[in-house]
Amino acid sequence: MNTATRFSGVMPFMNLIQFLKPMVFLLCLLPLLLVVWNGINNNLGVNPAETILDTMGNWGIYFLLITLSVTPVRKITGWGGVIRLRRMFGLFAFFYVCLHLLSYIWFDQYFDWNEILNDIIKRPFITLGFVTFLLLVPLVITSTNKMMLRLKKNWKKLHFLVYPIAVFATIHFLLMTRADFGHPLLIAGILSLLLGYRLYFSMQRKRSN
Amino acid sequence: MSILIKKPDDIKPSEITDQKVYEGRREFIKKMGLASTALLGAGQLSLAEAKAYPNLTKSQFSTTTDKLTSLKDITSYNNFYEFGTGKSDPAKNAGDFNPKPWSVRVEGECEKQGDFHLEDLIKPHTLEERIYRFRCVEGWSMVIPWVGVPLADMIKRFKPTSKAKFVEFETLYDPERMPGQRIKTLPWPYIDGLRMDEAMNPLTLMAVGLYGDELPNQNGAPIRLVVPWKYGFKNIKSIVKIRFVEKQARSTWHEVNDREYGFYSNVNPEVDHPRWSQKTERRIGEPFWAPKHKTLKFNGYEEQVAHLYKGMDLKKFY
């Protein structure tokens, strides 16, 4: 008898998640696959460097928001299994942030490390982008089950960093915008909702204590 | 042999020559010459005549070393917020914009004030082809074969007075026809200007076309400014007013954010935009994985324009 049937009575969601996970994984890869496909077909627009840089940056932020949506979705729908997708979403956020950073290093600066360092020091939106990347690194390193067990209560404290990370990423986006603030403001709005939701519940909890 | 020049209105889009034919026009005309008598009757010359501006004077100021950016790229990647803030918005939204008829009001410190039909503004001058580098403040660049007349020649006809120290241009304000103006992304109408000596520099062009044809709507039809040593946003589009003024001309981007967009806005790799370096540029059409171009001072037109700024601290007057 395989594991799935053995656990089916106890944890039906686990089955659903085990079934969903590979599909969600592929879905998360889709933005990258689309860029690659369009690149092969010479379909990345007039300024492909800009298209790639922007697309990767956008998906980095989208995945941060998706990661932050997991808890509200769980609370609202009552479906606990969704929590098992959270780590994957978080890692995909890092994945797209890395591709965004790589696009900047390659297409924008062509590995001119002096110029990159200069940018990080001199330009607030690049500083913020770089800090966002750096803050993500410890979260990725401690994302394994083993690390979770080892860090115990500290794990939660450390992973609280995801909130400043999402805020920094959004400000990074706002600061680099020249005229059309619609897109970054939409991101800022969604982020406010996600953070507001948590604030509301933590305040309620305090009141009931 | 006389060549029949059609009025721009008579040209159907289907008759417009594509870029390949344009680039091979000399070859084409040579071949035509060999067989001219035989073919004239068959109407084969239509390819060569279809262009709005078939006989352009070449210019000594045209770059000979840069590869032309394709017509497709020039017309599908535009900053023209009057038609939307996205780079592809102008190509999408400017299709219905009809720039005919068009008149330009000339006012301020000059003797020949008044409203001029576009045709009357252009007619007294010889149209030239000017192949210029075009550098956007955002860090990308193109090489564009403009069609136009030197602004200096046009200005002389208006007889500016001794009080005219600057010249200010204004874009059409018509939210009905320019949907981007329904949102206040910028304080409309768009205005920008030049110091008089900049305007009179032989490089400064009033453009009415590109690639031998009329200006596409998304590129600022029917008449726009081209100042190749300045960042793109100084090259104001769809001009309806030319105003001679005594005090420094207004400049929309400068007024919106003077820290990021100076009045002069000369291309200068030594002066960074506060949010990004201006040392390099992405040449549109080149492989995106390749290194960018080094940006040249005054966009490579130092020889022609550096004297205009002698003694000025370009870090202060950016």
Partner-chain contact B77 A46, CB within 8 Å: yes
Instruction: Name the closest residue on chain B to residue A172, using Cα atoms.
Output: B275
| Mean pLDDT calculated for residue range B240-245 | 98
Q: Give A 42-71 residues with CB within 8 A of chain B.
A: 44-50, 52
| Mean pLDDT calculated for residue range A7-35 | 81
Predicted pLDDT of residue B283: 97
Residues of A in contact with B276 (CB under 8 A): 119, 123
CB-based contact (8 Å) between B140 and chain A? yes
Does residue B7 carry a pLDDT above 60?
no
Domain spans, chain A = 11-208
In total, the C-beta contacts within 8 angstroms joining chain A to chain B are 51
Predicted pLDDT of residue A19: 86
Per-chain mean pLDDT for chain B: 89
Partner-chain contact A119 B277, CB within 8 Å: yes
Per-chain mean pLDDT for chain A: 91
Distance, in Å, from the CA atom of A15 to the CA atom of A19, rounded to the nearest integer, reads 6
CB-based contact (8 Å) between A107 and chain B? yes
Contact partners, residue B51, CB within 8 Å, separation at least 6: B16, B17, B22, B212, B213
Gap from B264 CA to chain A (nearest CA, Å)? 19
- Mutual orientation of helices A124-141 and A113-122 as an angle, nearest 10°? 100
Q: Choose among B185, B276, B284: nearest Cβ to A180.
A: B185
Predicted pLDDT of residue A202: 86
Q: How confident is the model at residue B2 (pLDDT cuts 50, 70, 90)?
A: very low
Comparing B252 with B51, the larger pLDDT belongs to B252
What is the torsion angle, in degrees rounded to the nearest 10, for the CA atoms of residue A147, residue A153, residue A157 and residue A162?
A: 50
Predicted pLDDT of residue B23: 61
Q: pLDDT tens digits, residue range B21-42?
A: 666 655 555 555 544 444 444 4
Does residue B64 carry a pLDDT above 60?
yes
Predicted pLDDT of residue A12: 57
Q: pLDDT tens digits, residue range A71-89?
A: 999 999 998 889 999 999 9
Instruction: Name the closest residue on chain A to residue B186, using Cα atoms.
Output: A179
Host H or E run for residue B194: strand B191-195
Instruction: Name the closest residue on chain A to residue B257, using Cα atoms.
Output: A178
Distance, in Å, from the CA atom of B111 to the CA atom of B114, rounded to the nearest integer, reads 9
Distance, in Å, from the CA atom of B44 to the CA atom of B56, rounded to the nearest integer, reads 21
Of B137, B107, B94, which Cα lies nearest the Cα of B238? B94
B53-309: in CATH 3.90.550.10: no
Residues of B in contact with A52 (CB under 8 A): 288
Gap from B60 CA to chain A (nearest CA, Å)? 29
Gap from A66 CA to chain B (nearest CA, Å)? 26
Host H or E run for residue B165: none
- Helix, strand, coil % over all residues of chain B, rounded to 5: 30, 20, 50
Partner-chain contact B276 A123, CB within 8 Å: yes
Query: What phi and psi, each to the nearest 5 degrees, are found at residue A142?
Result: -95, 25
Gap from A128 CA to chain B (nearest CA, Å)? 12
Contact by Cβ (8 Å): B223, B206: yes
Predicted pLDDT of residue B24: 62
Q: Choose among A44, A46, A50: nearest Cβ to B76.
A: A46
Does residue A6 carry a pLDDT above 50?
no
| Mean pLDDT calculated for residue range A92-101 | 98
The sign of the dihedral angle between the CA atoms of A18, A19, A23, A24 is negative
Of B259, B264, B250, which Cα lies nearest the Cα of B318? B264
Percent of chain A with pLDDT over 70: 93
CB-based contact (8 Å) between A175 and chain B? yes
Chain A interface test: which of B83, B88, B277 (most A C-beta within 10 Å) = B277
Q: Which residues pair with A55 in a beta bridge?
A: none
Of A171, A199, A201, which Cα lies nearest the Cα of A185? A171
Chain B interface test: which of A46, A111, A113, A128 (most B C-beta within 10 Å) = A46
Residues of B in contact with A115 (CB under 8 A): 277, 279
Domain spans, chain B = 1-51, 53-309
What residue type is B189 in one-letter code? P
| Mean pLDDT calculated for residue range A3-8 | 45
Gap from A33 CA to chain B (nearest CA, Å)? 18
Distance, in Å, from the CA atom of A57 to the CA atom of A129, rounded to the nearest integer, reads 10
Comparing B37 with B278, the larger pLDDT belongs to B278
Q: Give B 206-225 residues with CB within 8 A of chain A.
A: none
Q: Which residues pair with B266 in a beta bridge?
A: B230
Predicted pLDDT of residue A209: 66
Q: How confident is the model at residue B132 (pLDDT cuts 50, 70, 90)?
A: very high
Residues of B in contact with A47 (CB under 8 A): 77, 87, 140, 282, 284, 288
Residues of A in contact with B77 (CB under 8 A): 45-47
Comparing A196 with B45, the larger pLDDT belongs to A196
Partner-chain contact A180 B76, CB within 8 Å: no
Gap from B161 CA to chain A (nearest CA, Å)? 38
Gap from B222 CA to chain A (nearest CA, Å)? 24
Predicted pLDDT of residue A204: 85
